[in-house]
Amino acid sequence: MRDRKRLCRWLMSCSVIALLAGCGGGSSTNPQTAEQQIVASNTNFRTRVQTILRNAAQEMGVQVSPENFACGVFTNGSDGKMSVLINSAISNTQNLTLDDLRSGADLMFCYLRTDDGYRTFFTVKIREVNNQWIAELRNLAGETATVDADVEPDQTVSGGLTFDWVGGLCIDYHIGLVKILICLDLEKLLEKIFFDRITSGGWEDQLDSACEQLMNSVRGAMQSRSGNSFRGGLAITRDDVLAVCQLAGTASQLQLDDPTRPLGYCYIWKERNGDDLPARIFPIRLISFSNNGYAVDGAPGIGVTLEPSYLTIKTKSSPRPRVEDNRMQVLLPVGDQLVCLEVPLTQ
């Protein structure tokens, strides 16, 4: 009888412990998934970068509204070196008119890091000179470089910050019903603006550290699903979209129609996700159609087109980003082509 009572007490104590564990009273039995790890890393990254951008901008004498900054980070598969482009808005620019722009207005605050280690913060000022739109880029030391700018009316209601780093490098800002586009020649830019000026707060180091931490977390999460350890990876982040992709090899190693080897692996989240994107990390396997078109197997919400590649040998081992107002593209180098994966966005 006494043994039976002891057994009942032991069973009851086990039931209580199990109940507490299930309700959060004990250790968690549901570890964070790879996808949750990527989303959490992006949230932490965006919070940290907003603070860094505010501090760096203050040192350069401007104020920014960094909440919706657009960022692309990618690493070369050949050597693991990192490139970064961040485009954020100067404060109180959303209601500027064409007349304001003609007179001259600071619009964007950016950070650029190349895989060669050159890096700088710079502001972008737009003005019109002799009926020609120009952009003036200014670094921390006050050194400037002037490049052509495209300023065009655009009836699409949007306030998006965008960028394109496929062949050259372009940054874009849509203000009201005006769209401003600036494309940069990096070699000429290096000749005009020194990249060795460092902010007194060391914000470049902090920003690079935040980007490396994001990419390490993303790479670990992706590898846990794919088993692929190739270093060529990409992260695109804006307030309405997150895309991370990892190549499965260099451009010369990948083939469009190889059923045994995916081109890479991606995880894509957008603000209005719907049912057209996989909820998990997915392999990029292409399905070919009779009209020479392609689709991503299992991902009907992703469009696929092919573009000629102008990348160098070194950069053919990393995905490239393109973010526009209403679409996001990841470009994967395969042979002498770029496989463009496109996801529509709704601002």
| Cα distance between residue 160 and residue 1, in whole Å | 75
Identity of the amino acid at 313 = I
Q: State pLDDT tens for residues 50-101.
A: 999 999 999 999 999 999 999 999 999 888 899 999 999 999 998 888 889 9
Concatenated DSSP letters of 213-270? HHHHHHHHHHHHHH------EEEEEETTEEEEEEESS-TTT--TT-TTS-SEEEEEEE
Structure token pair of residue 259: 């059923």
Q: State pLDDT tens for residues 108-136.
A: 999 999 888 889 999 999 999 999 999 99
| Cα distance between residue 262 and residue 266, in whole Å | 11
Structure token pair of residue 46: 């965006």
Query: Would you say residue 337 has pLDDT above 50?
Result: yes
Q: Helix (H, G, I), strand (E, B), or coil: what is residue 288?
A: strand
| Cα distance between residue 83 and residue 75, in whole Å | 6
Q: Helix (H, G, I), strand (E, B), or coil: what is residue 277?
A: coil
- 8 A C-beta contact, residue 267 and residue 274: no
Phi, psi of 13, rounded to the nearest 5 degrees: -65, -40
- 8 A C-beta contact, residue 300 and residue 273: no
Entry pTM: 0.86
